[in-house]
Amino acid sequence: MSETHTIFKSIGVVGAGQMGSGIAQVLATYGLSVVVHDLNETVLSKAQASMEKSISKLIEKGKIRETTSVILGRIKFSSSLEDLAKVELAIEAASENKEIKKIIFRKLDALLAPTAVLASNTSSISITELAAATKRPKLVLGVHFMNPVPLMKLVEVVRGQLTDDSTVNRVATLLALIEKQTIFSKDYAGFIVNRILMPMLNEAMFTLYEGVGTAEDIDKGMKLGTNHPMGPLELADFIGLDTCLSILEVLYDGFKDPKYRPCPLLKNYVMSGLLGKKTGRGFYDYSQKAGV
């Protein structure tokens, strides 16, 4: 991986779940100093463990030349948001909940230098609305990474109503330095990727709900029939069924179009705590499987 010279000297990541830890890992792999914040110490330790596993795997495959400890040495794990005070870019990757994200944006706006850029990794929530919670809407934008962040090439950059060109350009430069491909989306519910992906996953759930086929056949159909790397139900489990439901609700709310109504089966799964791979059960049972 190439040497990094970036206009952001230090970067903060808020939220150390699947996405936040993946983003921090990739930034550190490219030589950047990162502060990862999560209120929950257990989540922080889990993030560190999953980064170690992921980096080791990438070293094994010859994709990373540095050692795990050198890369992790660039990351500070902190349960105190104040540790982000000096960062020049903060990337929020908290749960897909508008109110939680707005609170974080307000806090970051008060804490960081007035020139710092505030980004959200939201997969569907309005960037314009998050920007309106701050006094720096020109410096607010969406950077939507795909899961698993270390393997997926794409980042969707979302421009809010008032985001200025220089903010978009600076962040696009950073993304090029960490060897991600970018696409640019206007700020409408679901942006580009999830507006197209989620109705497909939801339709696969309706296909199961209506008994048209088994989960295995629905996934096999899409994998072998349309060359998708994962079947739609397997992918929904991988993303997290709670995340899929929130995105569908944002789409439904944003466009008031019935085509985005979440499948009742998805709602029941989420209410029952069957959230997919992360809880060990969703459309499939993962309790016996281990992996990165």
Task: Report, as residue numbers or ranges, the catalytic residues.
Answer: 123, 144, 156, 194
Q: Is 68 a residue that touches ligand CAA (CB under 6 A)?
A: no
Is residue 207 within 8 Å of residue 265, measured between CB atoms? no
d(CA 90, CA 234): 31
CA distances (Å), origin 186, targets 58, 109, 155, 199: 34, 23, 14, 19
Q: Is 200 a residue that touches ligand CAA (CB under 6 A)?
A: no
Least CB distance to ligand CAA at residue 76 (A): 21
Q: Between residues 12 and 232, which has the closer beta carbon with respect to ligand CAA?
A: 232
Q: Between residues 118 and 222, which has the closer beta carbon with respect to ligand CAA?
A: 222
Q: Which of the ranges 107-115, 128-136, 148-156, 279-287 carries the binding residues for ligand CAA, by CB under 6 A? A: 148-156
Least CB distance to ligand CAA at residue 230 (A): 4
Q: Which of the ranges 50-58, 74-82, 83-91, 251-259 carries the binding residues for ligand CAA, by CB under 6 A? A: 50-58
Joined together, the tokens standing for residue 98 give 């508008």
d(CA 115, CA 237): 39
Restricting to residues 176-195, name those near ligand CAA by CB under 6 A: 193-194
Among 10, 29, 54, 246, binds ligand CAA (CB under 6 A): 54
Q: Between residues 58 and 205, which has the closer beta carbon with respect to ligand CAA?
A: 58
189 three-state secondary structure: coil
Rounded (10°) CA dihedral 278, 43, 152, 116 = 140
Among 58, 133, 171, 218, binds ligand CAA (CB under 6 A): 58
Q: Which of the ranges 4-12, 26-34, 149-157, 209-217 carries the binding residues for ligand CAA, by CB under 6 A? A: 149-157
Q: Is 21 a residue that touches ligand CAA (CB under 6 A)?
A: no
Neighbours of 46 (CB within 10 A): 16
Least CB distance to ligand CAA at residue 240 (A): 8
Neighbours of 86 (CB within 10 A): 13
Restricting to residues 107-146, name those near ligand CAA by CB under 6 A: 123, 146
Q: Between residues 38 and 156, which has the closer beta carbon with respect to ligand CAA?
A: 156
In the complex, which residue's CB is closest to ligand CAA?
A: 123
d(CA 141, CA 91): 10
Restricting to residues 208-267, name those near ligand CAA by CB under 6 A: 229-230, 235, 239, 243
CA distances (Å), origin 63, targets 4, 50, 51: 16, 17, 15
Neighbours of 81 (CB within 10 A): 18
Neighbours of 271 (CB within 10 A): 10
Q: Between residues 6 and 194, which has the closer beta carbon with respect to ligand CAA?
A: 194
Q: Is 152 a residue that touches ligand CAA (CB under 6 A)?
A: yes
Cα R_g (the chain), whole angstroms: 19
Residues in the chain: 292
H/E/C letters for each residue in 144-182? EECCCCCCCCEEEEEECCCCCHHHHHHHHHHHHHCCCEE
d(CA 190, CA 193): 7
Q: Which residues bind ligand CAA (CB under 6 A)?
A: 54, 57-58, 123, 146-148, 150-152, 193-194, 197, 229-230, 235, 239, 243, 291-292
